[in-house]
Amino acid sequence: MTTVPFDPELLAGLAFFQREIEGTPLRTGNIHASRARFAALTAPIEAVVGDAPVAFEHVSVPGPAGAPDVALTVIRPAAGTSGAAGVYNIHGGGTVLGNRFFGVGELIDLVVRHGVVAVTVEYRLAPEDPYPAGVEDCYAGLVWMAGHAAELGIDPARIVVQGASAGGLLSAAVSLLARDRSGPAIAGQILVSPMLDDRNDAPSTHQFDDVGVWDRGANHAGWTAYLGDARGSADVPAYAAPARATDLSGLPPAFIELGACEALRDEDISYASRIWAAGGQAELHIWQGAFHGSNGIAPGAEVSRATDAARLSWMRRILAL
Amino acid sequence: MTPVPVPYDPELEEGLAFFLDLVERIPLREHTILENRAHFATIIQPIEEQVGDLPLDWENRVIPGPAGAPDVEITIIRPKGAVSGAGVLGIHGGGMVLGTRFFATGELIDLALRHGVVGVAVEYRLAPEHPGTAAAEDCYAGLVWFAGHAAELGVDPGRIIVSGASAGGGLSAAVALMARDRKGPKLAGQLLNCPMIDDRNDTVSSYQYDGIGAWDRNNNDTGWSALLGVTRFTDAVSAYSAPSRATDLSNLPPAYIEVGSAEVFRDEDVDYATRIWATGGQAELHVWSGAYHGFSGFSPDAVVSQAANAARDSWIRRTLGLR
């Protein structure tokens, strides 16, 4: 299939991503090697915080029933807060890679620039811990955050969940769980290039098969690790793959953003369209010529700056920043 | 059962009420088209007032129309100072039945001032008096003239986009299809703001906004029926009237498609972008949360409108090589 061309301003960033981050595209046989590589790229939080006027603290909170405790890191303005907006962050990495400090620089930026309190969650990875371990860990962390909002200086009515890629998948899934379990109120869900559909069969997945980053093959490897033999079958629950949900009503407002040059493009459009059809709120941005994660890799590009500005605008609207 | 509509952004409610009172005072139905047209004319500022003391030159011209059809009127808007070499063909909205080219000049004035863009606003024949592809052909004649006179206007012929909102977005998409099919001027982009592109009016969003909001399902029905008459809904509908009918969306200029999540056109516009991408084409899509038809113009101070205007401007800069 003909692929959609990349923005020329992003080509250097694409090459960097392919060389330095993916190395070899993720496949079932190289998950552990990829994990080690990914870990080496994630700087310790002390180094990322540097002189920024924030305080951070690691806490261990109760995990899902019968499962280990969950590690969280709380990042707050050094000056303290009361009634601040809260951002619950779920890292990406295909459900198989990464830790809660991946992308923490952008989270620290939000704390410094907008006075939010951020909580980033460690969750168990596949294939060692397949579904539902990851999503239940994330949900447990959210329950703890909402329950301790006052002591964290957070307004419990102003908590958003956010994540990119697998973090977007888990953010969408946590939003479904919170709705169905009458759990914490979520003010919004920020889904950046979310993995939503284990079937991996939309036209965009075929356009970006061995092309770009987080291609169809990588997506296949991630879903297969997370769901095992159930992947692609009729038995995949919505909390495992949110595209499988038959009811998308009553969810928190969604912000869905991704590049036009992504395998995940069509499934993400479909998710937004189905939220609207149910009378729900969603905002959808598909950026021309952009690839999976390009705004983080090439933050100076015109399209990346526009991407960040649109996301921040939505956060201002939802969180009254 | 009418599906539940997506609610409006509370910050937009006031602008929506203003829009409904000012623009849609008289429900648009077959028998109120002429009355609406007269009313619409009263809310379009004359070009002299739009330009005022701004550092711009404007000029009306009459150019050759489509083969066998009358000449076409255009208005050229240029900065008094340096031009950037970029050009925008502006096509006004109004449901294919209302409005004049001076409903499109506000955008051209803004782009001339901020980016040194040379704008051409094109007058086109309205339905129901002139149905079918008359409007699109007039707009295409405007593009051919613009591209052919680019040098004289200080415009790089490779840096012209077509732009329009609502019916103007539909006609912009049609002009892009025509230019491709006829091997005409090579457009650098097509800016489709809440475009009206599908006569079938049969999506979920078209039913969600039935009797509510701006440019609701019934107004949309009126516009399409005026344009297409008895051919509406049939296979005889040309893609140059209803671009959603095009079976081939490959090899089009990069498209910028923006629409509110709370309007009739949402689903057809998302579908158009999706089909462009499926062919390997370039498109950028923005669906703004809780936004009504025309929100960024009628609620300009709302946070969502500011974001919409900024995103659009970013694409214009990227597409036309502006700073």
Give CA–CA dist B259/B269, Å, rounded.
Answer: 7
**Cα angle B140-B145-B146, degrees, rounded to a multiple of 5:** 95
Go through chain B and tell me how many residues it has.
323
Nearest CB to B270: which of A1, A7, A269? A269
Q: Which residue of A has its CA nearest to B278?
A: A203
A6 touches chain B (CB under 8 A): no
CA–CA separation, B54 and B297 (whole Å): 20
CB-CB neighbors (< 8 A) of B303 in chain A? 313, 316-317
Interchain pair B7, A279: CB under 8 A: yes
Whether pLDDT at A236 is above 90: yes
Domain annotation covers residue A256: yes
**B6: closest chain A residue by CA:** A279
Residue B323: pLDDT band (50, 70, 90) is confident
Q: Tell me which H or E stretch contains B287.
A: strand B283-288
Least trusted range by pLDDT, from A22-36, B34-48, B63-77, B159-173:
A22-36
**Lookup result for tokens 């908590």:** A159
- In the beta sheet, which residues pair with residue A192? A164, A257
Name residue A71's beta-bridge partners.
Answer: A60
Q: Which of A100, A179, A183 minimizes the C-alpha distance to A134?
A: A100
Residue B1 confidence class, pLDDT cut points 50, 70, 90 = low
Q: Where are the alpha helices (DSSP H) in chain B?
A: 13-22, 33-43, 47-51, 105-115, 134-148, 150-153, 167-181, 204-208, 217-228, 266-278, 295-298, 303-320
Asked if residue A38 is part of any domain, the answer here is: yes
Across A22-31, average pLDDT? 91
Residues facing residue A59 across a β-bridge: A72
Return the amino acid letter for B17: A
Task: Reply yes or no on whether the pLDDT at B234 is more than 70.
Answer: yes
- With pLDDT > 70 as the criterion, what percentage of chain B qualifies? 100
pLDDT in tens, A55-78: 999 999 999 999 999 999 999 999
Min Cα separation A276/chain B (Å): 6
Pairs of CB atoms within 8 A across A/B:
124
How many Cα atoms within 13 Å fall on the side-chain side of residue B231?
A: 14
What residue type is B126 in one-letter code? L
- Dist CA B153 CA B249 (whole Å): 31
In a domain, A1, yes or no: no
Q: How far is CA A15 from the centre of its chain?
A: 22
Structure tokens at B211: 């009797």
Q: Residue A183 falls within a domain, yes or no?
A: yes
C-alpha span between A181 and B151 (Å, rounded): 65
- HSE-CB of A20 using CA atoms within 13 angstroms: 10
Token pair of A127 as six digits: 């294939």
CATH code, residues B10-320: 3.40.50.1820
- Helices B105-115 and B303-320: crossing angle in degrees, nearest 10, is 60
Closest CA to B318 of B139, B153, B115, B132: B115
A24-28, A124-128, A309-313, B163-167: which range is least confident on average? A24-28
Task: Kindly tell me the sign of the dihedral angle through the C-alpha atoms of B63, B66, B68, B70.
Answer: negative
pLDDT at B95: 98
Which SS3 state, helix, strand or coil, does residue B182 take? coil
**Distance, CA of B217 to CA of B209 (rounded, Å):** 6
Identity of the residue numbered A35: R
Listed in order, strand segments (DSSP E) in chain A are 54-61, 70-77, 84-90, 117-121, 154-164, 188-192, 254-259, 282-287
pLDDT per position as a tens digit, A76-96: 999 999 999 999 999 999 999
- Give Cβ neighbours of residue A47 (< 8 Å, ≥ 6 apart): none
Q: How far apart are CA B142 and CA A272, in angstroms?
A: 37
Report how far Cα B246 is from the mean position of its chain's Cα atoms: 18
Residue-wise pLDDT for B138-161, tens only, equals 999 999 999 999 999 999 999 999
C-alpha to C-alpha distances, A192 to A259, A287, B308, nearest whole angstrom: 9, 12, 19
Residue B311: its chain A contacts at CB < 8 A? Answer: 285, 306, 309-310
Q: What mean pLDDT, rounded, does chain B reach?
A: 97
Residue recorded with tokens 């296979």: B235
B274–A contact, CB cutoff 8 A:
yes
Is-contact B85 B112, C-beta < 8 A? no
A168 Cβ contact partners less than 8 Å away, ≥ 6 residues apart: A92, A190, A191, A192, A193, A194, A195, A196
Q: Is the ipTM of this complex over 0.95?
A: yes
Best CA proximity match to B112, nearest among B142, B91, B139, B81: B81
The encoded tokens of residue B315 equal 């694409």
- In the numeric block, the tokens 């509110």 are attached to B260
Q: Indicate if the pLDDT at residue A161 is higher than 80.
A: yes
Q: Supply the pLDDT for residue B2.
A: 77
Please say if the pLDDT value at position B277 is more than 80: yes
Spatial separation of the C-alpha atoms in residues A5 and A9, rounded to whole Å: 12
Residues 204-233 of B with CB under 8 A from A: 204-205, 208
Cα separation, B13 vs B34, whole angstroms:
28
Give me the pLDDT at residue A22, please: 87
- Test A288 with B283 for CB contact under 8 angstroms: yes
**What domain count does chain A have?**
1
Is residue A228 over pLDDT 90? yes
Range of the domain at A272: 8-319
Q: Do A5 and B282 touch (CB under 8 A)?
A: yes
What number of helices (H) and strands (E) belong to chain B?
Answer: 12, 8
CB contact under 8 A, A279 and B208: yes
The residue among A3, A190, A284 with the most chain B CBs within 10 A of its CB, best to mutate, is A284
We report the CATH number of the domain holding residue A180 as: 3.40.50.1820
Asked if B291 and B308 count as a contact pair (C-beta separation under 8 A), the reply is yes
Condensed to tens digits (0 to 9), the pLDDT of residues B88-143 reads 999 999 999 999 999 999 999 999 999 999 999 999 999 999 999 999 999 999 99
| Chain A residues with beta carbon closer than 8 angstroms to that of B282 | 4-5, 260, 288-289
- What is the per-residue pLDDT across B38-83, written as a single tens digit (0 to 9) for each? 999 999 999 999 999 999 999 999 999 999 999 999 999 999 999 9
Q: At B87, which helix (H) or strand (E)?
A: strand B87-91
Asked if residue A102 is part of any domain, the answer here is: yes
With left for phi above 0 and alpha for psi between -120 and 50, is residue B127 left, alpha or beta? Answer: beta
